[in-house]
Amino acid sequence: MSPRRHRPGELDAHADALVFFGATGDLAYKQIFPALQAMVAHGELQVPVVGVALNGWTLDQLKERARDSLAHSEHGIDDVAFPKLMSLLRYVDGDYGDTETFAELRRQLGKAAHPLHYLAIPPSLFGLVVQQLQASGCADGGRVVIEKPFGHDGASAKQLNETVTSVFSEDDIYRIDHFLGKEAVENLVYFRFANSFMEPLMNRDHIESIQITMAEDFGVDDRGAFYDANGTIRDVVQNHLLQMVTLLTMDPPSTWAPDPVHRAQLRVLEAIRPLSPDDVVRGQYRGYKRVKGVKRGSTTETYVAVRLRLDSWRWAGVPIFVRAGKCLPVKSTQVAIDLKPPPQEVFTEVFRRQSNAITFTIGDEMGISVSAKVFDPDHRQGEDVTLVAQRRPQPPLPAYERLLTDAMHGNKLLFSPEVNIAALWRIVDPILDDATPVHPYAKGSWGPADADHMVRHYGGWKSA
């Protein structure tokens, strides 16, 4: 059976039900219930919400799970929105391989004609669930939201896409990357394209190098089995960080709408050379192999540093360094753009190689800083100063609220099309798994020393 095609105007219809698979899981507990409550509070969720899982639970138990989730979240329980959410919540308990589970889901959906199905489940179950949705009629008129990682490599991503597109049309598939829903990531793009002074600098004539750091000061914890099967490259580089690279380096789109933005991102991805072993340093923090779920003798990386090269008119010759890791000294995500020094050193007494830099802090506390040199009259020489603009939302909106709201409305701006996913895998496929050795590093350090050699000609790694 081919994917159901929409009647004119039907595609833009607001979803009239939200189904989330994996309702009793960790992702639902930490992210989805806070997002659903926020959607209710902002008037964006007024349709049935159906949780699906196999746990032997009742609806009352799921409601208690939701209450506990929100009680432990930074947003807390909203005395108005929470009861409304509970009135919308329904539950189907059953195995994803059992047709009766999906027959009951169809009954719970009632008259809903445009359900949104969100798969907060392991990728290995995506194919089974979408086929069951089709067989039960639950896919008719609906959309599907799929969590990353979308595939394990380029070949598996292609196979998965063929399975999903046999049930849903490409227009109805939303490949989610929650990192793109963060306000600070949106702020980075806004700062770049909304200020006339910024864009003239964003090219090889003015920029020496770019660094992106995603540091976490904690380990794998209770995600040992999942993380050991994926590693840092699959977990954050192939998706979060390469997506950020596209937003930093793409040409200005004609409008801020899904198709022109996705095309601009794709042009960047197509210009990035596939990574080779010489471009990569992998590391693993000491003690990782003792984590529950990690295989004995594992060579999975918990740290990676890569050097990207863009073969484009705008960026030729500008290296982009990306590093990410666990058990590092701080929790911080940062973009540092180093500008080239002046062509001639008129003032020679204190000048070093680095001239100016623009730095973005990507996190709950959003910040933009510009380093510059000014004259110090007391010492009759130049000195470095940093101009900082900082803002901390109280508290930041959940990224999943933005993404699920957009999916409910049919807005695909922050969701990647299949061709972009394939381009992302093309870049990292050559360095997956054991293509390079994994170097041990101490917890609380900045990773293996080999990564420092990668940036030795560019002033070293910038502080995060």
What is the DSSP code string of 147-188? ESP-SSSHHHHHHHHHHHHTTS-GGGEEEE-GGGG-HHHHHH
> What is the rounded CA–CA span in Å between residue 186 and residue 393?
14
Is 14 a known active-site residue? no
Q: Residue 51 belongs to what H/E stretch?
A: strand 49-53
Catalytic residue among 114, 152, 240, 262: 240
Peptide bond preceding 274: is omega within 30 degrees of 0, i.e. cis? no
Max Cα separation, the chain?
81
* Strands 303-308 vs 320-325: parallel, antiparallel or unpaired: antiparallel
- Give me the residue label for tokens 């919400």: 49
Q: Are 174 and 165 in contact (CB under 8 A)?
A: no
Tell me which H or E stretch contains 266. Answer: helix 258-271
In angstroms, the CA 33 to CA 55 distance is: 17
First to last CA, the chain: 51
Q: List the catalytic residues.
A: 240
